[in-house]
Amino acid sequence: MLQVANIIAEKDRFVKGLQKRHINNAEELLNEVIALDEERKKTQHQLDSNLAEANGLSKQIGGLMKAGKREEAEEVKAKSAELKTISKDLGDHLNGIQEKLKQALYNIPNIPHDSVPVGKSDEDNEEVSRSGDIPELHDKAKPHWDLIKDYDIIDFDLGIKITGAGFPVYKDKGARLQRALINFFLDEASSVGYSEVQPPIVVNEASGYGTGQLPDKEGQMYHIASENMYLIPTAEVPITNLYRNVILDEKDLPVKHVGFTPCFRREAGSWGAHVRGLNRLHQFDKVEIVQVRKPEESYDALKEMCDHVEGILKKLELPYRILRLCSGDLGFTSVLTFDFEVYSAAQEKWLEVSSVSNFETFQANRLKLRYKDENKKSTLLHTLNGSALALPRIMAAILENNQTAEGINIPKALVPYTGFDLID
């Protein structure tokens, strides 16, 4: 959530930032926020003045009664009661204004970093780098949705029977490879200082608002109406919300967490080759890294997180590229995002496997997440997160890129975790 004081102080910059996201009514949105904030301040001033006057009158009543000035005391008492009634109305009005202001801010996205390229869709994303050789497959190579049937390692039909489309069942070496990837990703993160947490996979409404999934992505989340709870779309939500309404000491920073969770999204969308098999699911596993940093450190942390993801992909021997997301493809809460894509040789296409983002103070302002420095000054922190990694498309690329006539080779880095080096 943007900070009102910053909007007022740098309105032109904020208008340009929102226009970069192709929000045509940017100035109107910000003017509404400024007007509501002015009304909030005015109402708060009136309320404070009324309460102060009412309190002053209340203190006079006892003295007047003692002095035998009952009639005058009753007049003061009546005036005090009238002021308190007006104050209650002002308080109700203030609460209404504050709610309108909060909702207005909830619907305004973050301001893109200066380095974010202008664009309208993923076609306008900027390729930063690429690495690794695209494998040459044998003549009878297949896409992963055929391979999983040949080797009986993932069953979509059983998932449909149990739940519905987009909920696969992993079997035998498929399940072991899935577990190996999870453990490998967790160990990689732990080795560079991330503290592992295992959070709930169901969150309350406040958590959804805290990290910006609500109200922006409400339609994409599975909602448990009877409890007003949500299945998480990513571990970012519960892990970052560990620090909702928290003031950290400077000595507690930086915060670095890693967590594995299943993730749930309703966005599987249209059918076709681009969403076949593991390419897009309603339920999938993901290892997430989250950092909370002082503002002056957050962009170094972003690079650190990108380097971490890149290192994992190199160890998995997968060809990959890094993209800087354009303004039209940038997430609602993000200032700057880098996507990592691996090349799927059998599908002859790039598959997104990670997004690493800096949100600066956007989430922290919603969360009321601050730290106190050595002078006891309270400052909003910056939050960052990244997939390290999402499993389905990594699994798809491993199966497709490593297939041979004899079977599917397992990357050397995973063999200690799988206990086998070939799916045959």
* CB distance 17 to 111 below 8 Å: yes
Q: Does 352 belong to an annotated binding site? A: yes
Q: Is 234 annotated as a binding residue?
A: yes
User: Do the bridges between strand 223-224 and strand 229-231 make them parallel or antiparallel, or are there none, so unpaired?
Assistant: antiparallel
Asked if residue 355 belongs to a known ligand binding site, the reply is yes
For residues 251 and 377, the answer to whether their CB atoms sit within 8 Å is no
The SS3 of residue 141 is: coil
Q: Across the chain, which distance is largest between two alpha carbons, in Å?
A: 108
Alpha carbon distances (Å) from 398 to 152, 286, 409: 16, 16, 8
Q: What contacts 401, CB < 8 A, 6 or more positions away?
A: 135, 137, 318, 319, 343, 344, 345, 346
Residue 267 known to bind ligand: yes
Phi/psi class of residue 161: alpha, beta or left (left: φ > 0; alpha: ψ in -120 to 50)? alpha
111 within 8 A of 335, measured Cβ to Cβ: yes
Q: Are 264 and 232 in contact (CB under 8 A)?
A: yes
Query: Three-state DSSP class for 412?
Result: helix
Q: Is 72 annotated as a binding residue?
A: no
Q: Is 404 annotated as a binding residue?
A: no
Q: Which residue has the tokens 């390729």?
A: 127
288 marked as part of a ligand binding site? yes
Residue 354 annotated as lining a ligand binding site: yes
Distance of alpha carbon 153 from alpha carbon 376, whole angstroms: 56
| 129 annotated ligand binder | no
Q: Which of 203, 196, 198, 227 is nearest to 217 (CA)?
A: 203
Say whether 244 counts as a known binding-site residue.
no
Binding residues for ATP: 265-267, 352-355
Binding residues: 234, 265-267, 288, 352-355, 385
Binding residues for L-serine: 234, 265, 288, 385
